[in-house]
Amino acid sequence: SQQGEEDPQALSIQEGENATMNCSYKTSINNLQWYRQNSGRGLVHLILIRSNEREKHSGRLRVTLDTSKKSSSLLITASRAADTASYFCATDKAGSYQLTFGKGTKLSVIP
Q: Considering only residues 76, 90, 107, 109, which one is a binding residue for other proteins as defined by CB under 8 A?
A: 90
Is 85 among the residues that bind other proteins (CB under 8 A)?
A: no
Is 101 among the residues that bind other proteins (CB under 8 A)?
A: yes
Is 48 among the residues that bind other proteins (CB under 8 A)?
A: yes
Is 83 among the residues that bind other proteins (CB under 8 A)?
A: no
In the complex with other proteins, the residue whose CB is nearer, 12 or 98, is 98
Q: Considering only residues 35, 65, 74, 109, which one is a binding residue for other proteins as defined by CB under 8 A?
A: 35
Is 69 among the residues that bind other proteins (CB under 8 A)?
A: no
**Residue partners of 12: CB distance under 8 A and separation at least 6:** 107, 108, 110
Q: With left for phi above 0 and alpha for psi between -120 and 50, is residue 62 left, alpha or beta?
A: beta
Is 104 among the residues that bind other proteins (CB under 8 A)?
A: yes
88 burial (CB, 10 Å; 0-12 / 13-18 / 19+) is: buried
DSSP state of 82: G
Q: What whole-number distance in Å separates Cα of residue 111 and Cα of residue 108?
A: 10
